[in-house]
Structure 1
Amino acid sequence: MNTTLAATEAGVSIDTVRTWCRIGAVAAVKQAGRWIIDAASLAARIAIGKMKRPAKKVVYSIETMTAIGGNRWTKAGHDRVYLNNWDEFAGLEVTRYNTGNISTASYQDQGISNSQAYKILGCIDKVWFDAADGKLHCRYGWGESRVASREEVWDAVVAGVRAAIAAL
């Protein structure tokens, strides 16, 4: 089944299902840039989710940011964790040719053109967690897509990071 159907069945967002696929919480394979999810694995994950447990608090810290794939950087009194894979947290999925050019792209599980994928990749330059203030930051890039504005992409990144930390 696809991510939309799985999200409906589980009663969660499509981003949550994609995160489950990425971290291995459900058995899934990627075909043609889209997740194909095993129904039995999804049913097991739904059963786990129905167990009564207190909600896990999402804590931004150096440990959690590195656990979801961030790279720690310290220099001149700064202590940061850079998230170089921010596009995955935003829900942008691209496959590339051996030359590095994009061959297929989807954003939030919807197929998009390669040029729009490049524009989404260009709308945010860097994403980092600053240990001094305990917040996520970004530096906007030069581009903006018709598919999503810079602010919408940034909101998707923050939601994806929160979901990834909550799934730890």
Structure 2
Amino acid sequence: MNTTAAAAQANVTVATIRNWCRYGAVAAVKQAGRWIIDAASLAHRIAIGALKRPARKVEFTTDTMTAIGGNRWQKNGKDRVYINNWAEFAGIETTRYNTGNIASAYYQGERISNSQAGKLLSSIDKVWYDAADGKLHCRYGWSESRVAGRTELWAAVVDGIRNAIAAL
């Protein structure tokens, strides 16, 4: 199985799965630059994790948002945490040429065209947590992909952020 499917099954981020693969916490091999994870090894790792820590309630706070990689910004009476790597939480994986153009793209483990990946990446402009109201917000971009609509992509971002906070 790939990293995105493993992350969904283990209820952790794709970055956590990659770390597990690198450090040998799960049995995995790298083929063509992508991790292929052994399902039995992942199930064993999930069972170990369940023994160590009970399920934790997910809370959106400035501390949890910065812990998952957000950047805190305070100015003019506003207190926000910007999530600049929102695409990772949505399950968008891209590789790029030296020119910056997209070389290959995956959305939630499925191969997609480079142009659709560009449209996905430009369908959400910004993602932030506002400490005043305690909610996640986004500003939609200017395009929409055939692969996933804006609302579906936003739901994937929120789910990814929840999973990342739960994995802390």
For 1:162 and 1:29, the matched residues in 2 are separated by: 28
| Structure 1 position 36 matched with structure 2 position 36 | yes
Deviation at 1:82, TM superposition (A): 0.2
TM-score normalised to the size of structure 1?
0.84
Q: Output the aligned Cα RMSD.
A: 2.7
Q: Which deviates further from its counterpart, 135-144 or 25-34?
A: 25-34
Kindly provide the amino acid, as one letter, of the partner of residue 108 in structure 1.
Q
Cα distance in 1 for partners of 2:123, 2:161 equals: 18
Sequence identity of aligned pairs in percent? 69
> In the alignment, residue 90 of structure 2 is paired with which amino acid?
A
TM-score by length of 2: 0.84
Displacement of 1:55: 1.8
Q: Tell me which residue corresponds to 2:58.
A: 58
User: Aligned partners of 2:29 and 2:133: how far apart in 1?
Assistant: 38
What residue number does 2:122 align with?
122
1:99-150, Cα deviation, whole Å (9 max, x unpaired):
1110000001000000000000010000000000111000000010000000
* Superposition deviation, residue 21 in structure 1: 1.2
C-alpha change, 1:119 and 1:139, in structure 2 (3 Å) is same
- Runs of 5+ consecutive residues of structure 1 not aligned to the other structure: none
Query: Which residue does the alignment assign to 1:18?
Result: 14
Shift of 1:29: 6.7
Change (3 A) 1:69 1:30: farther
Q: Secondary structure at the match of 1:89?
A: helix
The one-letter code matched in structure 2 to 1:152 is: E
| Kept in 2: contact 1:21–1:35 (CA 8 A) | no
Partner Cα distance (2:33, 2:146) in 1: 21
Equivalent residue, structure 2, for 1:159: 159
Instruction: Say which SS state the counterpart of residue 144 (structure 2) adopts.
Output: coil
Q: Mapping of 1:96-107 within 5 angstroms?
A: 96-107=96-107
Shift of 1:19: 5.3
The 3 A distance-change label for structure 1 pair 137 and 101 is same
Worse-superposed segment, 73-82 or 49-58: 49-58
